[in-house]
Amino acid sequence: MILPRLASDGLATAKGVRQRDRPDKDLYSITPAGRRVLRRWLSEAEEEPVRNANIFALKLFFCDLVPARTAQAQLDAYRRFLETRLSRFHTMVHEPARGENIFPQLVLGRAIARIEATLLWVEGANNALDAAHRP
């Protein structure tokens, strides 16, 4: 379990709560050391997020805990990642030869469309971030 490990590492605290009609539970709170570790992790913009595709979204979700430039760095790194992948995928596109299996090209087309849509979202997110932090 992750939360007990964070508590044992001093990054969170646990407080036991007794409940009547349900099993007892622990409520976890982040410690100052945990906040420092979280902010450091949030500031690490991964150029190639290979571990988990949802890490970018998770980091962006918590960017209210860090300066706006950190959110911008996350968006910029994600855009570069998507553009690199899109470029690579475009080199794989070809018209299937007669009798060739078309399904890989269909799936590739889906991937390209999703990346292009996500790049549009990144552009909108950048605009929103700029507007939110404009003096």
Q: What is the phi-psi region of residue 101: left when phi exceeds 0, alpha when psi lies from -120 to 50, beta otherwise?
A: beta
How long is the chain?
135
Is 80 exceeded by the pLDDT of residue 50? no
Domains in the chain: boundaries: 1-42, 46-135
Mean pLDDT for the stretch of residues 91-104:
93
The label of the residue with tokens 């849509």 reads 117
Sign of CA dihedral 84, 96, 111, 117: positive
Q: What is the pLDDT of residue 134?
A: 77
pTM of the model: 0.79
